[in-house]
Amino acid sequence: MEKIGILGGTFNPVHKEHVALAKSAVAELGLDKLYIMPTYISPHKNLIPAPAVDRIEMLKIAFRGLDKIEISDYETQKQGKSYTYLTVEHFKEKLGAQIYFIVGGDMLTDFKTWKFPERILAACDLAVFSREDFFTDYIAEREYFKARFGKEFVKLSYTGKSASSTKIRVYTAFGLSVDGIAPDGVGEYAINKGLYGGDKYTEYIKRNLPLKRVKHTADVVTTALAKAKALGLDEKKVFIAATLHDCAKYVDPNTVEGFTLPNDVPPPVVHSFLGAFIAEKRLGVTDPEILDAIRFHTSGKAEMTTLGKLIFVADMVEEGRVYDGVENLRKLYEKEDFENCFIECLKEEFLHLINKKQKIYVETINAFAYYVKN
């Protein structure tokens, strides 16, 4: 009996880890063919992806020359939401083969919430790969699968490195190179087609910040968006707040008409208050939660919103940050309780200011007293 694999996803766009995973799965499972199958609209995501025809073209670019791998337009041709049970039943009936549906460890933990999981497992076997940025308790998951479904999943040896379609989209929007994260030719295609273009906020940042700070901003955006869904936040609001958090980093407040700085704000915090002012007066941001997140992303304060906490933390743990202790904070951000990560970041900031013998802004003191001492 033939062995057929299906690797689904939004692929918005495809990244290098998708390619590495596909090659590994073909070899380890001994597949006769692996179908790479972009969804039309994923039932698990709110994001409206790039047009299906473009995502398919980028997949063809990424997987060209790999003869056991084929790009399938089955789900995009059907349109509507893509449900796995319908897909695997279709391919089982059509091919009469042994079907492996390939998922990551993060998806395995959510599998019980999918539509008709029993029907999925009646038509195929799950083949599961690990991700280095997500912990999966495979022992507990095996026990659950046996108890509920009377079946096991296949554990693949492949462990996916941290990779992000979000990062490719964000970097493209900020005009940054995606070499090293997007397969050769994919980034160029996306740029030429204008698939992930920026907006007035990204354009403002590109015009007014040096390249190094633009990259930092893009990394803060990528880091924050990675947690937006889990925290129940609106991705558009997260994007705007993260994009504009440093918009006034190199602006002299004395040159900005109408801006008044509160008393006793230390120099390192000034750009946060000025940034909120510029976001509102020059860029038309009216959402008080976004403005508050920008205003206090450096200092923190008592009773912060979840969005405010997220921008504060993302600014500290984005991949370009280098300081003692940042790796531990990143691990907390990726794998632990977000509130705990926020508190540890607040402690780190407070300790940094003490060690540098810098003036500590009153709102930082208030935040430390509110979240740490209590």
Look up the CATH number of the domain holding residue 7: 3.40.50.620
205 in helix, strand or coil?
helix
Structure confidence at residue 167 (pLDDT): 93
Boundary of a domain, candidates 141, 163, 185: 163
Q: Are residues 31 and 157 in the same domain?
A: yes
Q: Are residues 266 and 315 in the same domain?
A: yes
- Reply yes or no on whether the pLDDT at 357 is more than 80: yes
Helix (H), strand (E) at residue 77? helix 74-78
Using only C-alpha atoms, the chain has a radius of gyration, in whole angstroms, of: 23
Q: Are residues 265 and 363 in the same domain?
A: yes
Q: Are residues 88 and 237 in the same domain?
A: no
Q: How far apart are CA 372 and CA 270, in angstroms?
A: 24
Structure confidence at residue 42 (pLDDT): 61
- Reply yes or no on whether the pLDDT at 275 is more than 90: yes
Q: For residue 266, which phi and psi values (nearest 5 degrees)?
A: -65, 150
Domain limits for position 323: 200-373
- Reply yes or no on whether the pLDDT at 45 is more than 60: no
Retrieve residue 244's tokens: 């504009």
Average pLDDT on 39-49 reads 67
Average pLDDT on 9-25 reads 94
For residue 187, tell me if it sits in a domain.
no
Q: Are residues 152 and 216 in the same domain?
A: no
Structure confidence at residue 130 (pLDDT): 92
Average pLDDT of the chain? Answer: 93
* 237 close to 307: Cβ distance less than 8 angstroms: yes
Percent of the chain residues past pLDDT 70, beyond the cut: 97
For residue 76, tell me if it sits in a domain.
yes
Q: Are residues 8 and 151 in the same domain?
A: yes
Q: How far apart are CA 370 and CA 374, in angstroms?
A: 6
28 in helix, strand or coil?
helix
Structure confidence at residue 111 (pLDDT): 93
For residue 119, tell me if it sits in a domain.
yes
Q: Are residues 42 and 110 in the same domain?
A: yes
CATH number for 246: 1.10.3210.10
- Reply yes or no on whether the pLDDT at 188 is more than 60: yes
pTM as predicted: 0.88
Q: Are residues 293 and 364 in the same domain?
A: yes
Average pLDDT on 203-211 reads 97
- Reply yes or no on whether the pLDDT at 309 is more than 80: yes
For residue 189, tell me if it sits in a domain.
no
- Reply yes or no on whether the pLDDT at 146 is more than 70: yes
Structure confidence at residue 374 (pLDDT): 63
For residue 188, tell me if it sits in a domain.
no
- Which residues on adjacent β-strands are paired with residue 120? none
Boundary of a domain, candidates 163, 191, 223: 163
For residue 176, tell me if it sits in a domain.
no
- Reply yes or no on whether the pLDDT at 65 is more than 70: yes
Average pLDDT on 275-295 reads 98
Q: How far apart are CA 38 and CA 215, in angstroms?
A: 29
For residue 211, tell me if it sits in a domain.
yes
Banded pLDDT at 356 (limits 50, 70, 90): confident
Banded pLDDT at 252 (limits 50, 70, 90): very high
Nearest partner of 252 among 263, 241, 261, judged by Cα: 261
Please name the residues in contact with 100: beta carbons below 8 A apart, sequence gap of 6 or more.
3, 4, 5, 6, 25, 29, 31, 124, 125, 126, 127, 154
Q: Are residues 293 and 218 in the same domain?
A: yes
Q: Which of 19-28, 134-143, 168-177, 234-243 has the lowest mean pLDDT?
A: 134-143
Which DSSP category does 285 fall into?
Answer: -
For residue 178, tell me if it sits in a domain.
no
Q: Are residues 205 and 351 in the same domain?
A: yes
Which DSSP category does 373 fall into?
Answer: I
Average pLDDT on 115-119 reads 96
Q: Are residues 110 and 219 in the same domain?
A: no
Banded pLDDT at 40 (limits 50, 70, 90): confident
- Reply yes or no on whether the pLDDT at 230 is more than 90: no
Q: How far apart are CA 243 and CA 76, in angstroms?
A: 32
Q: How many structural domains is the chain composed of?
A: 2
Average pLDDT on 333-345 reads 90
Percent of the chain residues past pLDDT 90, beyond the cut: 84
Retrieve residue 178's tokens: 């995606």
Q: Which of 42-46, 254-258, 266-270, 370-374 has the lowest mean pLDDT?
A: 42-46
Q: Are residues 152 and 236 in the same domain?
A: no
Please name the residues in contact with 298: beta carbons below 8 A apart, sequence gap of 6 or more.
268, 269, 271, 272, 312, 315
